[in-house]
Structure 1
Amino acid sequence: MSLTLTTTSPDVNVLHPATSGASEWWRNAVIYQIYPRSFADGNGDGVGDIRGIINRLDHLVDLGVDALWLSPFYKSPQADAGYDVADYRQIDPLFGDLDDFQEMADKAHARGLKVIVDLVPNHTSDDHAWFQEAIKAGPGSAARDRYMFRDGKGENGELPPNNWQSIFGGPAWTRVDQRWNASEDGVDDKQWYLHMFDTRQPDLNWDNDEVKEDFKSILRFWLDRGVDGFRIDVAHGMVKAAGLPDWDGVTGMVDGTKNEGASQVQTDGTPDEDGSNGGGNSGPMFDQDGVHDIYRSWHEVLETYEGDRCLVAEAWVEPLSRLALYVRQDEMQQAFNFSYLTTKWDAAALRTVISASIRENDVVGAPTTWVLSNHDVVRHVTRMGLPAVIEGKEMNPNGVRATEPQPDVELGLKRGKAATLQMLGLPGSAYLYNGEEFGTPDHTEMPDEFRQDPAFERKGRTEAGRDGCRVPLAWEADKPAYGFSESGLTWLPQPDTYKAVAADVQKATEGSTFRLYQQALRLRKEHNLGLGSHAWLADFVDAPEVLAYQNNDVIVLTNFGDAPVQLPAGSDILASSVPVAGNVVERDVCVWIQAK
């Protein structure tokens, strides 16, 4: 038995009207995330760099995106792939120098591309001059007040100040004399410092005025060099609850795990009506109201510059009404929608999270920002090919290892393309992760000896970590390192399967993933979908296996069930995730249809 779309002039249930009178570029931009060490290598050392980005800027124009976002390129010991910043005003020599950055920004702007850079304000590297000064200055010093140093508990301070656990695994506190030898370095105190991530990433104290003022200066430093915005790492984590109270919950990355007491409970990817999907971080170290004062002050800094500069929140916050607080008119402009990212491949579940997302963002007049993949999660073409349930646990993993169940590659790519087309039809802004336009999968069989994610070791090698989604991209199928590096060197190994997803193969192949992305981005602009409307189609408003909505003059329909969906005779199909025969939409296929 098939289902039927009765007409391409359908009855609709309007959720969101088209945005009128708005000119800010970030409201409808498609933004391309570049993970610099894995995008393109310009000097042959096996690590991607700014020169490599410059050499590939025309690819972004060819694809059709509006902006690029660079993950950290700052001076760093690279303990956490650059998210441990030693100097926010210098480029790490691994990637180039400030002149290279300026050339890249100027050439991107000349091509009509906006430039967003990462900012990491929750913590610095332990190589940062401030932290080195704090270690030497000792307890009670002004230098220590820039960070979260505390005396330990117990008779001799031998216990950490509280029971918080690091997101990367293990305690969130390290005692100073456990890291530095007193006799060699002159360190003779037993204070502890907080690090919600790796031991080498001490958390800053955002009650300290010097910290607040320095980060405003950092914003101005990069704004003066022409950047158009900042993606704020751990935007919900800078302010901690007064007194740093004990908490028995467990924190994690964007992994679909729910914080309940002292255990992590896997969710099934089904959101509540408020959009909560179990992936948000809670507890006294996250989403404290004081973070909003910081972003109001940053908003004021951006307002002093010409053009529409933006702040983007990486905030793992639920429910969506809490996330929307970050994008009020006097704070940030965008916030990543991780509730959407962690929702399972299911029509009803996605309908719920889309409705909640648009509804809550409309309350504060902000665009919804959609995302399916990034440098912290399993790529969606891999994620969607994994078994739904293994040994009674829902599958939404932190990486996949060779010893674990492997994805169905064909199914994952089919669903991944459908999910992308479905996402790009939604109003608002969207983010793409470098390589997804080629259908690049995770490296799920990477030998453990190559893994570099600090979470892999800190969690006792119980989780693969994030290396699988960070493997250097393939550009030319028949070149060394698939064209990533002329020398053939790569900082992480590439699997043999990357030959088929090399850029030159994808661009030359009719019906490829790249061709689909390119077509969808072109149509998205032509039909003004980013500033468009959203209305659920009455034919399928409660259908358990079909998701169908209209945005401006485009109908977006995805079939999740076994029963095919019959389109009206003469339907004008603008795009489809796989070819559609006889106006019949089969399972795991998304189509864009011209509304009459």
Structure 2
Amino acid sequence: MTFETDAAGERLPNGERRRWWKEAVVYQVYPRSFADSDGDGVGDIRGIVDRVGHLDDLGVDVVWLNPVYESPQADNGYDIADYRAIDEQYGTMADWEELLDTLHDHDIRLIMDLVVNHTSDEHDWFQNALTSRDADYRDYYVWREGRDAAEVDETYDVGPDGEVPPNDWESFFGGPAWAYHEATGEWYLHLFDRKQPDLNWENPDVRDDVFEMMNWWIEKGIDGFRMDVINLVSKPEGLPSTDPEAGIRTIDRVTNGPRVHEFLGEMRDRVLDRGFLTVGEMIGDPLPVEHARRYVSPGPDGDGLSMLFHFEHVLLDRGERIWETADWDLTDLKAVFDRWQAAFADEGWNSLYLNNHDQPRMVSRFGNDGEYRRESAKLLGTLLHTLRGTPYVYQGEELGMTNYPFESLDDFRDVGTLNPVRTALDRGVVESFDAVKEALRANSRDNARTPVQWSDEEHAGFSDAEPWISVNPNYGEVNAEAERADEDSVYHYYRRLVEFRHENDVVVYGDYDPLTPDHESLWAYTRTLGDERLFVVLNFADEATTYDAPAELVGDATLALGNYDADDGVDETLDLRPWEARVYRAR
């Protein structure tokens, strides 16, 4: 089927313009861990097709599909060898086309992952670039001469010609962001794994090929793109080293580069000006608001993306390294969300998420995955579905899935965990795995990548074979079959959240006003659209908490949604139980 894009969009009482993607709920599928249909222990496209009914019952509007392109899987598909082919472990192009048709038959749209900051080193472009400095595709990537090791103070593994990398940039996966190619005597840039060389967006031929590829997928019928680390595509002129004394790190050098808005504006004009859902992943700590607004501005000077992913809230508990954590509290989390709600209050749109394939499970991170797993999972869902923006549900979130209890480094699969930890162990920066185990348990991306728990059968019903990564041992209790059978489950609460959002414009478009920015355990706010007002109060604590609510909000209010059985009546003093969430219709 073909969806209308409602490109014009009517104006609502607060001036907000209606768009289909603002009203949508997006469900993220990480195919490797979703469902395995052929018994090889790896999730695949046929497995997704078989589970579309689960998504339809949940009520979601869009599926964001993580990469299924041909890839050597150095970074689980984010190292693409062919943008127009399906990796055989996931199936065939015919399988993908069946998935698209099946989703559309259920009125669910599909957006694909766009990974164009880098390719795989096995991509034909890079293989050609390796042949000589004069190769046709050499300038598709970023190559530089090295520096004389005697002229720099940094400690590096010296290259074969006695050189060190062209600058001191570090890969986000650990070690230098440069790899030496002996045959041509130059270094290539890889901000991620060495098997993920960065594309050179300064070359117009690169942009032409990327835009042509995007249009190819659009012609196949997709409904938009999630754009991986898209604010890295413009590198600073001269590729200057970091400046520790000024606090300038690698990430500060490479994000939001001098031509990034020019490049995205060109993408908008040549590909995206068609009413698609486009969400840009914008790394940085923090992402400057002036850039953020320009990325999502629909005006002539804006890039026109539908929304973006920033990382500010999911960096609160992180140190500089994956084995480091930081202290945070609820007031910090509220401050981040309040700032971003305000940033896009007049123009622009938020994406709402607390976990994804790159982040630990939200109930383990922001909730209580023990005694109050169910209650806190529902509360966090309430937060995401009642703020202004488009909520993203990561697979298994609707079941209240938790982090995995990793016991050894051998339990991990993610290069973003393994590479930096192994390097640190080799260099003596980290004494032992046990010394960093708890932090890795909290931080690793592999927490989100354990298989979806469909039942209490062997391997959690994910596969008939041993999965590529271990199933969480709590699958006997936490699984879709049990959740669907229990009307008080996290799953059925999520169904009610999605339905509530679909039925109430005030949830989608209403203005956001925070009420308790300084309270250490309560998060309360209102959403207002014309004469409609919702009052939301959330208790982020293992203990009961009392809140003296504003009289004008609770007088004649009715409880619209909550994660506990309703109390009798409503008065100004609200007695909230541990991890209790309430949504009132205020008069």
Residue 162 (structure 1) aligned to one of 164, 167, 170 = 167
Q: Does 1:85 align with 2:80?
A: yes
Q: Does 1:594 align with 2:585?
A: yes
Cα distance 1:411–1:469, how it changes in 2: closer, same or farther (>3 A)? Answer: same
Q: Does 1:358 align with 2:341?
A: yes
SS in 1 for 2:505: coil
Deviations 1:322-360 (A, max 9, x none): 322211114211101422444578553344323321222
Q: Is the 8 A contact 1:506 1:515 kept in 2?
A: yes
Deviation at 1:66, TM superposition (A): 1.1
Cα distance 1:19–1:296, how it changes in 2: closer, same or farther (>3 A)? Answer: farther
Cα distance 1:446–1:513, how it changes in 2: closer, same or farther (>3 A)? Answer: farther
Q: Does 1:579 align with 2:565?
A: yes
Distance in structure 1 (CA, Å) of the matches to 2:14 and 2:313:
21
Q: Does 1:176 align with 2:181?
A: yes
Deviation at 1:421, TM superposition (A): 0.5
Distance in structure 1 (CA, Å) of the matches to 2:53 and 2:536:
30
Q: Is the 8 A contact 1:46 1:489 kept in 2?
A: yes
Cα distance 1:229–1:140, how it changes in 2: closer, same or farther (>3 A)? Answer: same
In the other structure, the counterpart of 2:445 is 466
Q: Does 1:555 align with 2:524?
A: no
Q: Is the 8 A contact 2:331 2:517 kept in 1?
A: no
Deviations 1:430-451 (A, max 9, x none): 1110010000112123543232
In the other structure, the counterpart of 1:118 is 113
Residue 367 (structure 1) aligned to one of 339, 349, 363 = 349
Distance in structure 1 (CA, Å) of the matches to 2:365 and 2:288:
23
Deviation at 1:413, TM superposition (A): 4.8
* Equivalent runs, 1:167-316 vs 2, <5 Å: 167-177=172-182, 188-248=183-243, 260=247, 282-303=251-272, 305=274, 308-316=275-283
Distance in structure 1 (CA, Å) of the matches to 2:221 and 2:31:
19
Distance in structure 1 (CA, Å) of the matches to 2:64 and 2:564:
29
Deviations 1:90-143 (A, max 9, x none): 00001111111111111111111111100101100010001111111x224442
Q: Does 1:481 align with 2:459?
A: yes
Deviation at 1:589, TM superposition (A): 1.9
Distance in structure 1 (CA, Å) of the matches to 2:146 and 2:100:
46
In the other structure, the counterpart of 1:499 is 476
* Equivalent runs, 1:513-532 vs 2, <5 Å: 513-532=490-509
Q: Is the 8 A contact 2:129 2:137 kept in 1?
A: yes
Cα distance 1:444–1:19, how it changes in 2: closer, same or farther (>3 A)? Answer: farther
Cα distance 1:249–1:45, how it changes in 2: closer, same or farther (>3 A)? Answer: farther
Cα distance 1:107–1:209, how it changes in 2: closer, same or farther (>3 A)? Answer: same
- Aligned-partner residue type, residue 216 of structure 1: F
Cα distance 1:343–1:547, how it changes in 2: closer, same or farther (>3 A)? Answer: farther
- Aligned-partner residue type, residue 295 of structure 1: L
Distance in structure 2 (CA, Å) of the matches to 1:370 and 1:213:
32
Deviation at 1:499, TM superposition (A): 1.8
Q: What is the TM-score of this pair, normalised by structure 2? A: 0.82
Q: Does 1:451 align with 2:417?
A: no
Distance in structure 2 (CA, Å) of the matches to 1:169 and 1:491:
24
- Aligned-partner residue type, residue 137 of structure 2: A
Deviation at 1:302, TM superposition (A): 3.5
Distance in structure 2 (CA, Å) of the matches to 1:290 and 1:348:
36
In the other structure, the counterpart of 1:378 is 360
Cα distance 1:589–1:460, how it changes in 2: closer, same or farther (>3 A)? Answer: same
In the other structure, the counterpart of 1:334 is 307
Distance in structure 2 (CA, Å) of the matches to 1:176 and 1:127:
14
Distance in structure 2 (CA, Å) of the matches to 1:162 and 1:50:
41
Q: Is the 8 A contact 1:28 1:427 kept in 2?
A: no
Distance in structure 2 (CA, Å) of the matches to 1:239 and 1:556:
41
SS in 2 for 1:374: coil
Cα distance 1:81–1:541, how it changes in 2: closer, same or farther (>3 A)? Answer: closer
Distance in structure 2 (CA, Å) of the matches to 1:191 and 1:509:
60
Length, aligned pairs only: 517
SS in 2 for 1:299: helix
Tell me which moved more, 426-435 or 329-338: 329-338
SS in 2 for 1:139: coil
SS in 1 for 2:120: coil
Query: What RMSD over aligned residues (CA atoms) do the two structures have, in Å?
Result: 2.6
Q: Is the 8 A contact 1:72 1:117 kept in 2?
A: yes
Gapped regions of structure 2 (runs ≥ 5):
1-11, 150-160, 318-327, 423-435
Distance in structure 1 (CA, Å) of the matches to 2:243 and 2:371:
41
Deviation at 1:500, TM superposition (A): 1.4
Cα distance 1:27–1:591, how it changes in 2: closer, same or farther (>3 A)? Answer: same
- Aligned-partner residue type, residue 165 of structure 2: P
Q: Is the 8 A contact 2:313 2:337 kept in 1?
A: yes
Deviation at 1:145, TM superposition (A): 0.8
Distance in structure 1 (CA, Å) of the matches to 2:371 and 2:134:
59
SS in 1 for 2:214: helix
Q: What is the TM-score of this pair, normalised by structure 1? A: 0.81
In the other structure, the counterpart of 1:349 is 332
Q: Is the 8 A contact 2:16 2:509 kept in 1?
A: no
Distance in structure 1 (CA, Å) of the matches to 2:582 and 2:58:
20
- Aligned-partner residue type, residue 378 of structure 1: P
SS in 1 for 2:242: coil
Cα distance 1:581–1:203, how it changes in 2: closer, same or farther (>3 A)? Answer: same
Distance in structure 1 (CA, Å) of the matches to 2:277 and 2:38:
32
Q: Does 1:48 align with 2:31?
A: no
SS in 1 for 2:232: coil
- Aligned-partner residue type, residue 309 of structure 1: F
Deviation at 1:203, TM superposition (A): 0.5
In the other structure, the counterpart of 2:377 is 416
